[in-house]
Amino acid sequence: MSITDMVQTADWRTEKHVPVIECPDKVSPGELFELKASLGKEVSHPNTTEHHIRWIKILFKPRDSSFVYEIGNFEFTAHGESVNGPDKGPVYTGHSVACFMKSTSPGKIVAMAYCNIHGLWENTRELELS
């Protein structure tokens, strides 16, 4: 079994576990741009002690390369836990991240998210250079 056998995909507009990737479609080579990845843009995902998103990872695969590059790994660690019990805590994280990147090659941005109950999900978006 490979990792591709474990990853689920769907349309983020109807499936709450699929990361949404927001960035320009086209950038100049070497131009720094903002990249956002989130869950729940159209269909809300719970953030409870029992059911939550643990992390979002962003990768980039240049079109002319066999290798993938990790842009960022973002962990979410506050889901309402407390000594008073599940969902009694004062802090809940959201499932949204933002970072900046630049590339000298067109390629594919990959966002992966892990739900503690429903497993590993991904979405991709092409990045073109002008």
Average pLDDT value for residue range 31-54? 95
Q: Is the pLDDT of residue 1 over 90?
A: no
Count CB atoms within 10 A of the CB of residue 123: 21
Give 8-22 pLDDT, tens digit per residue.
899 898 999 999 999
Length in residues, the chain: 130
For residue 57, the enclosing domain spans: 3-129
Quick one: pLDDT at residue 38? 97
> 59 pLDDT band (50/70/90 cuts)?
very high
**pTM of the entire structure?**
0.93
| Residue 50 and residue 71 in contact, taking contact as beta carbons nearer than 8 Å | no
Quick one: pLDDT at residue 117? 96
Give 66-120 pLDDT, tens digit per residue.
999 999 999 999 999 999 999 999 999 999 999 999 999 999 999 999 999 999 9
| Residue 115 and residue 122 in contact, taking contact as beta carbons nearer than 8 Å | no
| Residue 9 and residue 121 in contact, taking contact as beta carbons nearer than 8 Å | yes
Quick one: pLDDT at residue 2? 83
Active-site residue list = 15-17, 45, 51, 115, 118
Q: How many domains does the structure of the chain reveal?
A: 1
Report the distance separating Cα 58 and Cα 20, nearest Å. Answer: 11
Q: CATH no. for residue 59?
A: 2.60.40.730
Q: Is the pLDDT of residue 28 over 90?
A: yes
Q: What is the mean pLDDT of the chain?
A: 95
Quick one: pLDDT at residue 100? 98
